[in-house]
Amino acid sequence: MSTNYTGRCTCSSISISIVGEPIATRQCWCRQCQQLALGGPSNNAIFKAEEVQIQGTLASSSWAAASGNTLTFHFCPSCGTQIYAQSSARPHLKTVRFGAIDEPHGLSPSVAIWTEEAPAWAIINPALEQWPQQPPAPPPSK
Amino acid sequence: MNVLFPEEAVHYEGPMSKFRMTADSGNTVERGFCPTCGAQMYSRTVEPTGLPMRVRAGTLDNPDLIAPSAIIWAESAPAWAKLDPDLPHHPAGPPAHLANKTS
C-alpha cells in the first residue's frame, strides 16, 4: 500500500507514515484535550493502528479519559508535540493529531465531541455533527 | 490559545522541559512543556527581549476566565478552521501594539 499521509513533530525527531484513510475525524473539547491542545480542541484522525508507522522515540503518558477509558497519548520528548493517542477500549485504532500530519493533508474534523466542556468563548462550527459528551464508538476494524 | 502576562508575573512549580526554535515570526522562542505528559505550558520570546509571556490557556484551571481578543497568524489556519468573525484577524504575527500588550 502506498503512503497517503506523512507527518512530523515540531523538532522533526519523530516522523509518521500512514497508509489508508481515516475511519473518522473528530474535534474534541474535553478538558483534558484542552490541556494538551493549548486551550483549543484537539483535532484528530482515527486510523487502523497497523496503518500508522512511527519513526523515532516517543514518550507516553496515560489518564482515565472523560469517557471512562484509559487513554494513552504519545508525544515527542524533545519538543512535546502530541503525535497520537490510543484508547484501552480500541487498541486496534490510533488517533493521530492533525497538527502532526504534514499539510496539505486535506482532512477536516467531521464531528465535534465533548462540546459541553468547551469554554464559553469557543467557536464550534455549527455545520459539524455535535455530541455533548462521548459519541458512539467508531465501527470495529474489518 | 494564549493569555499574555508579563514574564515576571508567572511562576511555575515542577520540572519543565524547554524547547527553543525560530518561530514563523523570525523570533527565537522557548516553549515550556511538562516532561511527563507533554502538555505545552508557555511560549516565551528569547530574542528580542521584553515581550510578554504566552501562557497556554488550556493549562489554566478556568479557561472560561479570559476569551481571546484577537486572532493572529490567521493565514496559516486550515481552510476548515472556524474563526470568530467578531475578533480582529491578523494574517501573520500581531502588530506591535498587541505584541507588547501585557494586560
Strands A24-28 and A42-48: antiparallel
A80 to chain B, any CB pair closer than 8 A? The answer is yes
Ramachandran region, residue A31 (left: φ > 0; alpha: ψ -120 to 50; beta: rest):
alpha
pLDDT at B95: 79
Identity of the residue numbered A8: R
Any A CB within 8 A of B37 CB: yes
A73 touches chain B (CB under 8 A): yes
The pLDDT score that the predictor gives to residue B100 is 62
21-60 of A, contacting B, C-beta below 8 A: 34-40, 59
pLDDT value of residue B65: 82
Q: Where are the beta strands (DSSP E) in chain A?
A: 3-8, 15-19, 24-28, 42-48, 52-55, 59-64, 70-75, 82-87, 93-97, 111-113, 129-130
Q: Which of B38, B58, B82 lies at the smallest CB-CB distance from A75? A: B38
The angle at the Cα of A102, spanning B95 to B69, to the nearest 5 degrees, equals 25
Residue A136 domain flag = no
- Written as tens digits, the pLDDT of chain A (142 aa) is 789 999 999 999 999 999 999 999 999 999 999 999 999 999 999 999 999 999 999 999 999 987 789 999 999 999 999 999 999 999 999 999 999 999 999 999 999 999 999 999 999 999 999 999 988 776 665 4
- What Rg do the C-alpha atoms of chain A give, in angstroms? 14
Is residue B32 predicted with pLDDT exceeding 90? yes
For residue A117, being part of any structural domain is answered with yes
**Interchain contact, B82 vs A119, CB within 8 Å:** no
Contact A38 B21 (CB under 8 A): no
Torsion of CA B22, B23, B27, B29, to 10 degrees: -80
Contact between chains at B37 and A73 (C-beta distance less than 8 A)? yes
What average pLDDT does this structure show over B23-40? Answer: 95
Give domain status of residue A114, yes or no: yes
Number of domains in chain B: 1
The predicted pLDDT at position B13 comes to 97
**CA B45, B48, B52, B57: dihedral to nearest 10 degrees?**
-20
- For A77, which residue in chain B has the nearest alpha carbon? B35
Residue of A26, A29, A20 lying closest to A45 (CA atoms): A26
Partner-chain residue, chosen from B38, B56, B83, that has the shortest CB–CB distance to A39: B56
Task: Please say if the pLDDT value at position B103 is more than 50.
Answer: no
- Helix ranges (H only) for chain B are 96-99
Residue A2: the pLDDT is 87
- Percentage of chain B surpassing pLDDT 70? 93
How many domains is chain A partitioned into structurally? 1
Does A106 contact chain B (CB < 8 Å)? no
Position A88 in a domain: yes
In a domain, A74, yes or no: yes
The complex's ipTM?
0.88
| Residue A30 maps to a domain | yes
- C-alpha A97/C-alpha B83 separation (Å) is 20
Query: Does A134 fall in a domain?
Result: no
Predicted pLDDT at A135:
86
CA nearest to A117, candidates A66, A45, A69: A66
Chain A residues lying within 8 Å of B39, measured CB to CB: 35-36, 80
CB distance from B33 to chain A under 8 Å?
A: yes
Number of neighbouring beta carbons within 10 Å of residue B1: 21
In chain B, the residue whose alpha carbon lies closest to the alpha carbon of A104 is B78
Strand order in the sheet with B17-22: B2-5, B53-56, B40-47, B28-33, B17-22
pLDDT category, B56, cuts 50, 70, 90? very high
Look up the domain containing A107 and give its range: 3-125
Owning domain of residue B74 = 2-99
- Tell me the pLDDT of chain B averaged across its residues: 91
Asked, for residue A111, whether it belongs to a domain, the answer is yes
Q: For chain A, what is the total number of helices (H) and then of strands (E)?
A: 1, 11
Q: Give the CATH number of the domain where residue A85 resides.
A: 2.170.150.70
CB contact under 8 A, A77 and B58: no
Partner residue opposite A36 with nearest CB, options B31, B38, B78: B38
